[in-house]
Chain A
Amino acid sequence: MKKILTLLLSAGLVATATQAVSSPKEDLEKFRMYYEQRFPGIQLDDFGNGPYALDASKRLQWESMEEFPPYEDYIDKGSEIWETPFKNGKSFASCFGKDPSKVRVKYPHWDKASSQVVTLEGDINKCLKDNGEKPFGWKKGKIAHLGAFLGYEARGQKINVVIPDDPKALEAYEEGKHFYYAKRGQLNLACADCHIQYPGHRVRGQLLSTGLGQTTHFPVFRAKWSKAAANSDGMGTLHRRYGGCNKQVRARPFKAQSRQYRNLEFFHTYMSNGLAINAPGYRE
């Protein structure tokens, strides 16, 4: 009897120990400290440059690419999309406010009324629908062009995701956090395995970036996506990239803007609070 009690008790202790959740603030402190200790020479904002912050020769290639960045045309296209009135005469400004530089920094955020994480892409398509327009595709094309423009306008502002002290918001945050650390797919790998354990190492010829700063430059122009596209448009959203990283561990990717990816974005972007927005970015 005594034995059983001890067993039950210790099992209970273990259960509470693993369930004790740290606050978002504590999570962020530990997350950032880990990278700062691992890569002591790197300035906080520089983590937003992904692999180029970690490797000198890659950085040189990238810097020369940035002289005439391939995403420039898409910023212009995005600007046009922003300016072009809808059929009803209104425009995106009627949803987002007149100043395009003040949009990007508001996302993602918790929406109390609908009890869910709202993303920039989600609100872009909501604005279109509310105005009787056809929504854009979720992962590339116009949604990424407009995102590139709004990101460019917001360059230099600090990421500032707020996790309200609301049980439902915390639940969404926890789900996103769990997603980042849970192993999945046939290869049994978590986001954390590659982007926390192995940043700076190579996977199939690609240099792994740090989880810190991974969302600051989205949407991104990827050379790989450009090569695969008939019109060589290499722009893509954060959720497009999430899908790619799920696929490569042979897990079934979730839909762009699914609850899973929105909650992941909530956690993932919060982890980069305080870093400067540097969208759109260029990546291999």
Chain B
Amino acid sequence: MKKLITAFGLALLITGCNATTPEKPASMKAQYEVALKNAQAAVEKAAAVDGEWRDIRWKKSKKRYLPSAIKAAEAGDYKKALKLLEIATFQAEAGYKQAMEQKNAGPRF
């Protein structure tokens, strides 16, 4: 019985370990590259309908999620880069959606 539990525990430990082992830099990089393409496409799509938000890439924004993500990736911090791209993509998609919803906006008092 004791043996079983130990074996079980060991198994848990191994799988648990596996799950938290940081991914190899190469695969993070690949993930980043896909995410970057997605983010850039989403931003262009929002910009095309005049729906881009301030902090995605505008030069005077203090946040500049998209260029900051690229910078982080260049410095090898793919984890940070992916986080920033996630925000940039979310904001770009939200800006596009907003512009679509506002398509028929007109006088209201």
Q: Which residues of A contact B (CB under 8 A)?
A: 18-19, 21-22, 27, 30-31, 34, 177-178, 181-186, 188, 190, 192, 196, 246-247, 250-254, 260
Contacts and interface: CB of A to CB of B under 8 A. Distances in A.
B contact patch SS: loop
A196 B105 CA distance: 14
A188 B53 CA distance: 10
B96 to A, nearest CB: 12
Interface residues of B, number: 21
A186 B56 CA distance: 11
Instruction: Please give me the 3 A-B residue pairs with the lowest Cβ-Cβ distance, nearest first.
Output: A182-B102, A182-B105, A181-B105
Given A183-B102, A184-B98, A251 B53 contact: yes
A250 B98 contact: no
B98 A22 contact: no
Interface of B: 47, 50-56, 58, 91, 94-95, 98-99, 102, 104-109
Nearest to B51: A184
Contact of A247 (B54, B91, B95, B108): B54
Contacts of A250: 53-55
A127 B53 CA distance: 34
A31 B58 CA distance: 33
A186 B108 contact: no
A188 B98 contact: yes
A27 B102 CA distance: 19
A256 to B, nearest CB: 13
A50 to B, nearest CB: 19
